[in-house]
Structure 1
Amino acid sequence: MTKQPSRTIIEVHILQTTAPGNLNRDDTGSPKSVIYGGAMRARVSSQAWKRPTRQVFRELLDPSQLGVRTKRVVELLSKRILAAEPNIESEQAVNLAEIVLADGAGIKLAKPRKKKDAEDDQGEEVLQESTYLLFMGNRQYDELASIAVEASAQADAKAAIKNSKKRIKKIITDDRSVDVALFGRMVADDTDLNVDASAQVAHAISVQEINPESDYFTAVDDAKQESEDEGDSGAAMIGDVEFNAATFYRYANVDANRLNDTLGDADATAKAVGTFVKAFVSSMPQGKINTFAHGTLPELVVVNVRDSQAVNLVGAFERPVEPDYVEHATEALVRREQELDTAYGIQPVNTWIIRVGEDTKAAEQLAQKVSSLQEVVSGVESLVADRLVQE
């Protein structure tokens, strides 16, 4: 009897050199950093790379397959109600949305806290918001809007919505939006609405030691410069901004089995995995991007499919690499994977690599390079679908 695959886990390992920039700031405005292996490293938090990854999803998938993460749930649902039934008054749509969310779904709502020194609302209604960011699919909002419209035709709309509580909960718990399934959802008030994340994203760190630098800048007043009386070389504004430049090791993984548990379809799961790989590889945090134009693409991408467990290879860089950074980082990454695979018997089921330039040649010890990212995505989707069908 053929042994069935037990797990299907997709790993994405990336080496990427960025231009000087401040991709991800801390509370003081400085680029985030971490001490690793006794040396200062540049760091980009997982959250800072998850958001641009989700934004790329919008280019790759239909909106009906995606979710919205927001506190402004009443506003969003009331707009869907009005779109479904334009004859409903705006005030009624808001009231229906509040009842569906609070009484039907059990989501805690409250008026947003007024900003300090903010002016009076001058009679403008301030809509209630959820007390936490709620990540929910577009399809769910449309289905909840349908319930609200149905209830609006009843003599007691509130009672009708309350009687639909089980149906409302089922709509939310059956959320099969790709990004919700990948990144998860936590609802503190009702754990039944939680969705376990099937993707994990590590903080990116530089493979080399870095020393943050500061850019002292000036801004010139154009009108003053054009004046014959006032024209001079003085600046109208001065300031400074911290930045760094580094070769980053980026890592993420997707547990296709857990993702399939949520999406409930092998082909849909395979497509979601492929979308994640493509989006994660090509995304870039936007922090101060207009100042630094730091957007780059990776020098090396290694995608593994494993049937055992996910393995972060960051230990390859516990000792900071020396120039040439990409070449030596590639060699360290390959050496680390080969040693771990041999020591623990966790050789990947399949590996794809994309590499740019001669500095990444050592990666071909892991697999033959492929011609494009799309070839990797197609290969991953096909293998994931085949393995999930066998289970």
Structure 2
Amino acid sequence: MTIFVQLHWLTAYPPANLNRDDTGRPKTARFGNVDRLRVSSQALKRAWRTSDAFRSALHGHLGERTQRLGEEIERHLVGQGIAADAALRAARAVGDVFGKIKPETDRKPARIEQLVFVSAEERAAALALAERIAAGGEVDLSRTPLLKPVDGAVDIGMFGRMLADDPDFNREAAVQVAHAVTTHRAIVEDDYYTAVDDLKTPAEDAGAGFVGEAGFGAGTFYLYLCIDRDLLVRNLGGDEALARRGLAALVQAAATVGPRGKQASFASRAYASYGLVERGEEAPRSLAAAFLKPVGGEDVLQDSVARLRATRDQFARAYGSDAETAEMDVPAGQGTLAGLIALAAR
């Protein structure tokens, strides 16, 4: 049977604009027939995989999502003394393995058309192969493996990748991340702000040098993650120890790292106030139903924790549950992040 690790978080954010829509305002969702603030799973995953928590714990085992692999190869070859035209030819040939390369007439002829996740092992192999090509070696790219179906890139193993031209090297995501939504009704408010010219003299008009408007919102967000632990191990080539390191880094990041949107304006950094880890073989499920009726009252966080616990217990009574659990309730002084990590990464 598959082992699933489920993470549930409640995090209170002060006024913020963590994740903007196409108009620059905070993203929203309608849930339980009321408007909520929302943070997309894409924004959350990027914040986590580029965080210090990931980089320090998983150094050498992280990939990069980029269109610029060919340009990196070209710079590497030129730095080794290869002629510019030979370096470009080799970079285009190798870059085209990872995605459709831009036309030679393009302003960036070594750039790939699509964003692609590249592991550290694939990057090293690409640089080595480009050196052989640039040196005049005979290389049949169709018979020279560069892409790998599994390797040690933890973030690719967790969040997956899709290669439209090479589906054999796609990786199914072992970690599913829901969009975070507030447990209560929330609205987007407008901040009218001005900037004054410091060099303006008293004899001039008293008006501002700039006037603007920015959207923001505040609230307690519920976030759910589901991890297929067995798939993560398979994506990492069976490396159990690396999978455990990855799970520990993910729990650490999900509890302490959020999207960095508009931080200079809002300083909206927050740790999770409540966390629940469930580990077991039963079919996973979100606990978002706890908040279909928006939480009200003065203590939104405490009431949200109570709703989450009650809904979990109700599901357990109705369906049965043998899952192991660990909790961290910061306001109540119960549990620790280390305890959550210990269960999730076991």
Q: Normalised by the size of structure 2, how large is the TM-score?
A: 0.92
Question: Structure 2 vs 1, CA of residues 140 and 82 (structure 1 numbering), >3 Å: closer, same or farther?
Answer: farther
**C-alpha displacement of 1:309:** 2.1
Structure 1 stretches lacking a partner, 5+ long: 1-5, 115-124, 362-368, 384-391
Q: Which moved more, 1:171-180 or 1:235-244?
A: 171-180
**C-alpha displacement of 1:60:** 2.4
Match for residue 166 of structure 1 among 143, 161, 168: 143
**C-alpha displacement of 1:229:** 2.6
Question: Structure 2 vs 1, CA of residues 238 and 113 (structure 1 numbering), >3 Å: closer, same or farther?
Answer: farther
Equivalent pair of 1:22/1:31 in contact (CA under 8 Å): yes
2:253 is matched with: 279
1:220 is matched with: 196
**C-alpha displacement of 1:106:** 6.2
CA-to-aligned-CA distance 1:325-363 (integer Å, 9 cap, x gap): 011111110011111122112331x212122113xx7xx
**C-alpha displacement of 1:228:** 4.2
User: How far apart, CA to CA, are the structure 1 residues paired with 2:190 and 2:98?
Assistant: 49
CA-to-aligned-CA distance 1:138-170 (integer Å, 9 cap, x gap): 22111121122233344xx4xx222x533324x
- Aligned sequence identity (%): 30
1:131 is matched with: 113
1:143 is matched with: 125
User: How far apart, CA to CA, are the structure 1 residues paired with 2:232 and 2:155?
Assistant: 10
After superposition, residues 1-391 of structure 1 pair within 5 angstroms as 6-56=1-51, 57-81=53-77, 86-102=80-96, 105=97, 107-111=99-103, 126-154=108-136, 157=137, 160-162=138-140, 164-169=141-146, 171-224=147-200, 227-230=201-204, 232-263=205-236, 264-323=238-297, 324-348=299-323, 350-358=324-332, 369-370=334-335, 372-381=336-345, 383=346
CA-to-aligned-CA distance 1:37-77 (integer Å, 9 cap, x gap): 11111111111111101112543235421111011121123
Equivalent pair of 1:216/1:241 in contact (CA under 8 Å): yes
Equivalent pair of 1:70/1:135 in contact (CA under 8 Å): yes
Equivalent pair of 1:183/1:198 in contact (CA under 8 Å): yes
User: How far apart, CA to CA, are the structure 2 residues paired with 1:374 and 1:80?
Assistant: 42
Question: 2:2 corresponds to which letter in structure 1?
Answer: R
Equivalent pair of 1:46/1:203 in contact (CA under 8 Å): yes
User: How far apart, CA to CA, are the structure 1 residues paired with 2:209 and 2:233?
Assistant: 58
Equivalent pair of 2:101/2:111 in contact (CA under 8 Å): yes
Question: Structure 2 vs 1, CA of residues 92 and 346 (structure 1 numbering), >3 Å: closer, same or farther?
Answer: farther
Equivalent pair of 1:16/1:249 in contact (CA under 8 Å): yes
Describe the SS at the equivalent of 1:139: helix
What is the root-mean-square deviation of aligned Cα atoms in Å?
2.1
Structure 2 stretches lacking a partner, 5+ long: none
Question: Structure 2 vs 1, CA of residues 149 and 250 (structure 1 numbering), >3 Å: closer, same or farther?
Answer: same
Q: Normalised by the size of structure 1, how large is the TM-score?
A: 0.82
Question: Structure 2 vs 1, CA of residues 271 and 141 (structure 1 numbering), >3 Å: closer, same or farther?
Answer: same
CA-to-aligned-CA distance 1:147-198 (integer Å, 9 cap, x gap): 22233344xx4xx222x533324x4334430111111110111211211111
Equivalent pair of 1:68/1:137 in contact (CA under 8 Å): yes
**C-alpha displacement of 1:82:** 5.4
CA-to-aligned-CA distance 1:189-224 (integer Å, 9 cap, x gap): 121121111111100000011122111111101111
Equivalent pair of 2:66/2:116 in contact (CA under 8 Å): yes
The structure whose Rg is larger is 1
